[in-house]
Structure 1
Amino acid sequence: MSDSPGPPPRRSLLIFTLVAGCGASGSGRTVVPIAMDPAALVAPADSAELTTHDAAVRGIAGILVNELRLPMPDRVTVYVYASRQVFEQGLIQDAHVSPVRAAELSDFAIGVGKRRQLLFNDEAYDHRGREWLRLVTHELAHVSQIELAQGEGRAEQWLAEGMAEWVAFRVLERLKLDTMDRRRALARGGIKSHAALVAARLDLDTLGTPRGFTVRHLREGSLPTYQLAFLMADYLITRDGFEKVVEYFASFSQKQQRLDNFRRAFGQSLDEFEREVLGYLKTVTR
């Protein structure tokens, strides 16, 4: 999906580095504009090819477009920051995030996917291996979700995060770096003592907003909250199919009705799904 009909013309890749006027001396900001011509997006043979942001974004996009049938914009700009401080300033200047939100995000996030933008704190990884590729895929999945919905923050946030994790693990499995079964097992073990399961109340209404999701994972733990989101998305995808989840995100391009769109896509209310998936989670975490 793109703003212009048909595949965009191929453009040469331009990479340039700017020294940011913020943070520690010598810190910087690298900007990588990438033309996402569908005809040029080829799934990589293996992960050995994916050692730069340019190669990783192109290669992973090739898998998302050709194998998962996810849309990509005709152009993505990748911002790579040398430190947390520069990342925070980049969120403000490049992604137009409020200073308060940027300070909050930079404290826990190392990557952010916005509309046609990917922003990374490169200081977080000294090795561009499996977990780095998971991060790039997760954020690229958010870029695709935003293309589907034609806007940010419209769908259920827990499903946006859970689907992004599902896509990331699927790509890692495709690259023979991990398996979906191993990630499911890790997630089931990780949420056994999660506050929502202990209280037998998931409160998906709160988890469904960007702010609510942030508050919950800061309070209840980032990893288990993302694992919870992944398991709920995985349950929904297994039950209804990945295509149905894609259609759900696309429905927001027509109607921005959070609860109604969920009911139309999955045939039940959010409350009904919450009760159903809570029963499932209790079963698989015994």
Structure 2
Amino acid sequence: MSSCWRILLGLSAVLATACSSLVAPYRQYEIRFDAPARPPLGGSPSDSEPIDSIAWLMHHRLDLPFPPDIKVYVFVNEAAFVDGLNKIAGEKSEEARERRFAFGVATRGALFLRGDYLARMNLAGRASLIAHELTHISQDRLRQGGRARPAQWVLEGHAEWVKFKVVDLLGYRAYAESRDIMVRAALGSTIQSFPDLPALTDNAAWIEATRRIGAMATYGQAFLAVDWLVEQYGNAKLLEFLGRFALDADPREHWRTVFPLSYREFADKFRTRLEGLGRPRPPAPRGS
């Protein structure tokens, strides 16, 4: 190989290294809630446009509170994502590493997203991910200063409920259609193997059940439970319940203060309802 070619190859390697170093590991945004109307979404929106639009809908249409300054970090790949969770979110290296396959992670005042995953999603998929994770930030705001947190099934079921509402508000898929999809997924599962709702109270039990049985037994079941809870008592009551965790009060009193039936009674009634999905309903009496 001539010395000229060696020089050219050497320059190419230097340029490649220099260019790669110019690619930032993440893009940073700050969510705006002060727009007079929902920020519009084009056919090929930037990272920030759907985030601002979804956050506006959640705050102004679904009455969800948020902290004043929320930063969003969109990472270029897995390594950058893990590094961001460690250095920006303050997670321990091992904890950040365990989340390396997550699509997104919400902390009290920030949202961490995998940009490489977002790039492969359609608009409805991106909206679903962003809305779900932003709901967790809102939930933290609702219980700020409290000494406990709601059951994990309530938190995750609520995040799924908000997700489907946002997808509907954006015009991507009707809420009723999303609910029907989840019902059909439940019917295709072995519902008898699903854990009872009270068994999905803490995060460790939630993760274990998701790994052992699958997401339908946890996320799907939790969504259907929250959907039924809201259907029975309304979204305002659910937000009131979540907000009570900011009080310096016995957390066991929150449910019975807000809802007219006990926690155990709701869980039992929901279980009966869940196991009855797909069964033929008796004909309505004449004259009804």
Q: TM class by shorter-chain length?
A: 0.7 to 0.9
Q: Report how many residues are paired.
A: 258
Alpha-carbon distance in structure 2 between the residues aligned to 1:187 and 1:128? 19
> How big is the alpha-carbon RMSD for the aligned residues of Structure 1 and Structure 2?
2.5
Counterpart for residue 273 of structure 1: 266
Alpha carbons 1:255, 1:261 under 8 Å: kept? no
TM-score of the superposed pair, with normalisation by structure 2: 0.80
Q: Indicate how the Cα distance of structure 1 residues 212 and 52 shifts in structure 2: closer, same or farther if over 3 A, else same.
A: farther
Match of 2:206 among 200, 213, 220: 213
| 1:203-260 alpha-carbon deviations (Å, 9 max, x no partner) | 3233121222112112111255211111111011111100111111111111364432
1:30 has 2:23 as partner: no
1:251 has 2:244 as partner: yes
Counterpart for residue 42 of structure 2: 48
Identity %: 27
**202-211 or 117-126, larger mean C-alpha shift:** 202-211
**Unaligned runs of at least 5 residues, structure 1:** 1-23
Match of 2:254 among 237, 240, 261: 261
Alpha-carbon distance in structure 2 between the residues aligned to 1:231 and 1:41? 33
Alpha-carbon distance in structure 1 between the residues aligned to 2:241 and 2:56? 22
Alpha carbons 1:50, 1:56 under 8 Å: kept? no
Give the deviation of 1:51 after TM superposition.
1.9
Alpha carbons 2:133, 2:159 under 8 Å: kept? yes
TM-score of the superposed pair, with normalisation by structure 1: 0.81
Alpha-carbon distance in structure 2 between the residues aligned to 1:256 and 1:112? 29
Give the deviation of 1:270 after TM superposition.
2.4
**How do 1:220-259 and structure 2 match up within 5 A?**
220-255=213-248, 257-259=250-252
Match of 2:127 among 133, 145, 165: 133
Letter in 2 for 1:123: D
Give the deviation of 1:53 after TM superposition.
2.8
Alpha carbons 2:195, 2:217 under 8 Å: kept? no
1:124 has 2:117 as partner: yes
| 1:141-196 alpha-carbon deviations (Å, 9 max, x no partner) | 1111111111697112111111111111111111110011111111112123545x
Alpha carbons 2:59, 2:66 under 8 Å: kept? yes
Counterpart for residue 190 of structure 1: 185
Counterpart for residue 63 of structure 1: 57
**220-229 or 60-69, larger mean C-alpha shift:** 220-229
Q: Indicate how the Cα distance of structure 1 residues 50 and 98 shifts in structure 2: closer, same or farther if over 3 A, else same.
A: farther
Counterpart for residue 160 of structure 1: 155
